[in-house]
Amino acid sequence: MKFTIAIHGGAGNINPQNYTPEDIKVYEEKLKESLNAGFNILQGGGNAIDAVVASVKVMEDSPLFNAGVGGVFANNAMVELDACIMDGKTLNAGGVTSVHKIKNPIEGALRVMEDSPHTLLSGNGAELFAYKQGLELVPNKHFHTKKRYDQFKKAQEKKKIMVDHSMGTVGAVAMDKQGNLAAATSTGGMTNKFYGRVSDTSIVGAGNYANNKTCAISGTGTGDQFIKTVFAYDISAQMEFASKTLEEAGKISLQKLAEIKGHGGFIGIDRKGNIQMDFNCSGMFRGFKNESENFVAIFKGD
Please give the residue ranges that form the binding site for ligand ASP (CB under 6 A): 10, 66, 166-167, 169, 187, 189-190, 199-201, 207, 220-221, 223, 264
Minimal distance, residue 296 CB to ligand ASP, in Å: 18
In the complex with ligand ASP, the residue whose CB is nearer, 31 or 190, is 190
User: In Å, what is the CA distance from 45 to each residue of 118, 131, 181, 183?
Assistant: 29, 30, 14, 18
Segment holding 270, helix H or strand E: strand 264-270
Q: Which of 20, 90, 119, 169 is catalytic?
A: 169
**For strand 81-87 and strand 275-279, is the pairing parallel, antiparallel, or unpaired?**
unpaired
Direct distance between the N- and C-terminal alpha carbons of the chain, in angstroms, rounded to an integer: 29
Closest residue to ligand ASP: CB criterion = 223
Residue 9 CA neighbour count, 13 Å, CB half: 33
Minimal distance, residue 228 CB to ligand ASP, in Å: 12
Minimal distance, residue 193 CB to ligand ASP, in Å: 7
Strand ordering across the sheet containing 215-221: 208-210, 215-221, 264-270, 275-279
In the complex with ligand ASP, the residue whose CB is nearer, 88 or 188, is 188
In the complex with ligand ASP, the residue whose CB is nearer, 12 or 47, is 12
Minimal distance, residue 90 CB to ligand ASP, in Å: 25
Helices 21-43 and 48-60 sit at what angle, rounded to 10 degrees? Answer: 150
Q: Please say if 169 is a catalytic residue.
A: yes
From CA 91, how far away is CA 275, in angstroms rounded?
20
In the complex with ligand ASP, the residue whose CB is nearer, 185 or 212, is 185
Minimal distance, residue 263 CB to ligand ASP, in Å: 10
Q: Which residues of 280-297 are buried (b: 16+ CB within 10 A; e: fewer)?
A: bbbbbbbbbbbeeeebbb
In the complex with ligand ASP, the residue whose CB is nearer, 38 or 264, is 264
* Inter-residue contact 64 to 73 (CB < 8 Å): no
Positions annotated as catalytic residues are 169
